[in-house]
Amino acid sequence: MKFRKASAAAAAAAALALTVTACGGDGSTDDSAGDGSGTGKITVGIKFDQPGIGLKEPDGSFSGMDVEVAKYVAGELGYDEKSITFKETKSADRETALQNGDVDFIIASYSINDERKQKVDFAGPYFLAHQDLLVRADDTSISEATDLNTKNLCSVTGSTSAQNVKNDFAKDAGLVNRGGYSECLGALQNKVVDALTTDDSILAGYAAQDQYKGKFKLAGLNLSNENYGIGVKKGSDLTAKINEALEKMVSDGSWQKVMDETFGPAGYEFEPAPKIGELK
């Protein structure tokens, strides 16, 4: 990742730091810096349980697409990696975390939609995913979403994926909500549910993990377009700054490098970088 050097004038650095502090209403950022010197702090909401997207490793480090994009964006805002605090932000807690100032921005497989835009602002999109199903590798009974009628479908509390399937494809599906995708995966493995639904990028990351290889498969259905955005507190001018960082990430080749390194090993064929401000 490339990080901006501390060459901006002091006044500009102070203004930027004040801007970020305004986003973090509880003082989650330290406005003493923000110029890449490492003395300022910024708090970023991510997922901790999504392989390939946002994962807290056993050694306490973090990996995944959202983590790398967050590092790049923070760098363009004037923060080096040591200045970033990653905070777990579950699906059901994302809007509240921004509204309360618990985090400065959220990058957590956060699909942009009209309901969420009433509560928070979004930069991006920076990635286009599609909703799909993950089923057991030996299950031949599910090849279409309509096959979920009379079956049990798992998704995470706060996510809209399962309800979308029930509303649009399988009204008789039984919905099972869990607190995290790992819990849904355990329920699928133990045959408590018949399928797990969320974005194909997330499902591919789980299926590629060593302990799950050969046990699950993607149904290969594009049930929806999921435009991933970076959430910020409503009214914050961070939105424009983050959009500039994302545009630079694409133009300098960093976006492609991150996606290749993240999804290449899983064999997941991701979409080209979306254009900032345009939803598909």
- The secondary structure of residue 143, as a DSSP letter, is S
Structure-token match 């290449």, residue found: 264
As a whole number, mean pLDDT of residues 91-109 equals 96
Both tokens of 12, joined, read: 């500009």
Please report the pLDDT score of residue 6 as a whole number.
37
Q: What is the pLDDT of residues 167-203, one digit of tens each?
A: 999 999 999 999 888 899 999 999 999 999 989 998 9
Q: Which pLDDT belongs to residue 37?
A: 38
Nearest of 156, 74, 75 to residue 109 by alpha carbon: 156
Residues 6+ apart with CB under 8 A from 160: 111, 113
Q: pLDDT digit string (tens) for 196-252?
A: 998 999 898 888 888 888 899 999 999 999 999 999 999 999 999 999 999 999 999
pTM value? 0.78
Here the tokens at position 102 are 């618990």
The two three-digit tokens of residue 8, written as one number: 């901006």
Residue 24 confidence (pLDDT) above 70: no
Q: Is the predicted pLDDT of residue 2 greater than 50, yes or no?
A: no
Domains defined for the chain, CATH in brackets: 10-128+226-266 (3.40.190.10), 130-225 (3.40.190.10)
**In sequence order, which residues have a C-beta less than 8 Å from that of residue 170 and are 6 or more positions away?**
145, 146, 147, 148, 149, 151, 153
